[in-house]
């Protein structure tokens, strides 16, 4: 009996984790590796079910060297991510700094900023985008904006995308605001008060105390925002992969190869942004 009790107390934590392990193995790990298997095969439908023909890296070679539309969408997504992710994180940090102040009714403001996270599911945000609720009204009536649209290059395209999607980017910052608020409330108030006593300005307190203390939260939000933005239904690559699954000349194998290329791209973007932030934070300290 003592051995049974000892075994139960020692391994009780695994019982609580067991539902997650089972769910991860069935709904995440198995589809993950199965899609990798499909990406190296030409998959077709037969009377007996799916038929597999191993073609090696043929799907990947076709996606990189032949599918020009996919390469263009990947390039546009990379540029937009490099613009959107830092902007969302910066906006969330600024809003969190404001909401952390002793303002009257700040609980209402926190709810308002977090409300889009609750209501903006995939179909809802698609409908709002279709009726133009995610853009600034009459934006194309301004001559400056039309000039930017007509003079297309790397910089103007990023700037046009930023202005045209500023509302939706603000809607995407709800979770990040809560993360930053949690971090701001954990900052040592004695260190801040000591800095005030020594004559430090608000700007110096922010750069020397607040920002270094929020470095881990910033890194978490960078990773979270990159993944969230990559999974958004407004991303055309998601629709492209879904459409290729049932294409006549493509199918599951080619769609899986596109998904893996997209996955590797997202991973590289996260590593690059995290690395740049680590270098910047090290230099600032």
Residue 40 phi, psi dihedral angles, 5° rounding:
-100, 15
The helix/strand/coil state of 45 is strand
Q: Are the beta carbons of 224 and 232 closer than 8 angstroms?
A: no
Q: State the pLDDT confidence band at 185, using cuts at 50, 70 and 90.
A: confident
Which pLDDT tens digit goes with each residue over 82-105?
A: 888 888 888 888 888 888 887 777
Distances (CA, A) of 35 to 41, 95, 115, 243: 10, 40, 35, 16
Share of the chain above pLDDT 70, in %: 77
Cα–Cα distance, 93 to 217 (Å, whole number): 10
More confident of the two residues 178 and 136: 178
User: Is a pLDDT exceeding 60 seen at residue 261?
Assistant: yes
Residue 1 structure tokens: 């009996």
Q: Domain 66-284 in CATH: superfamily?
A: MetI-like (1.10.3720.10)
Q: State the pLDDT confidence band at 124, using cuts at 50, 70 and 90.
A: low
Look over the chain and give the mean of its residue pLDDT values, rounded to a whole number. Answer: 78
- CA torsion sign for 76, 139, 117, 155 is positive
Q: Where are the domains of the chain?
A: 2-39, 66-284
Taking the complete model, does pTM exceed 0.85, yes or no?
no
Q: Are the beta carbons of 183 and 217 closer than 8 angstroms?
A: yes
Residue with tokens 């030409």: 42
Which candidate, 117, 282, 140, places its Cα nearest to that of 211? 282
Which pLDDT tens digit goes with each residue over 38-74?
A: 889 888 877 777 788 888 888 898 888 888 888 888 8
- Helix (H) or strand (E) run with residue 149 in it: helix 143-150
Which pLDDT tens digit goes with each residue over 142-176?
A: 666 666 656 666 666 666 666 767 777 777 888 88
Q: State the pLDDT confidence band at 137, using cuts at 50, 70 and 90.
A: low
More confident of the two residues 105 and 23: 23
């Amino acid at each position: 009996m003592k051995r049974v009790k000892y075994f139960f107390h020692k391994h009780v934590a695994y019982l609580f984790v067991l539902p997650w392990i089972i769910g991860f193995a069935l709904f995440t790990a198995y589809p993950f590796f199965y899609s990798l298997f499909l990406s190296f095969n030409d998959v077709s439908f037969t009377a007996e079910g799916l038929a597999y023909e191993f073609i090696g890296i043929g799907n990947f070679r076709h996606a990189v060297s032949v599918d020009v539309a996919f390469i263009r969408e990947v390039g546009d997504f990379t540029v937009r991510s490099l613009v959107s992710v830092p902007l969302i994180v910066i906006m969330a940090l600024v809003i969190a700094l404001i909401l952390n102040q002793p303002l009257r009714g700040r609980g209402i403001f926190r709810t308002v900023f977090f409300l889009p996270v609750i209501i903006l599911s995939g179909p809802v945000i698609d409908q709002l985008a279709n009726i133009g609720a995610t853009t600034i009204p009459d934006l194309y009536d301004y001559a400056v904006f039309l000039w930017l649209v007509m003079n297309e290059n790397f910089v103007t395209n990023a700037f046009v995308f930023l202005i045209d999607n500023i509302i939706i980017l603000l809607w995407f910052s709800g979770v990040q605001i809560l993360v930053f608020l949690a971090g701001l409330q954990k900052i040592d108030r004695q260190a801040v008060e000591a800095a005030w006593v020594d004559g430090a300005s608000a700007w110096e307190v922010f750069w020397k105390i607040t920002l270094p203390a929020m470095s881990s939260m910033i890194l978490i939000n960078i990773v979270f925002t990159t993944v969230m933005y990559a999974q958004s239904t407004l991303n055309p690559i998601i629709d492209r992969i879904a459409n290729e699954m049932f294409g006549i000349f493509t199918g599951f194998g080619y769609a899986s190869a596109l998904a893996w290329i997209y996955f590797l791209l997202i991973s590289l973007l996260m590593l690059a942004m995290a690395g740049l932030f680590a270098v910047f934070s090290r230099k600032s300290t």
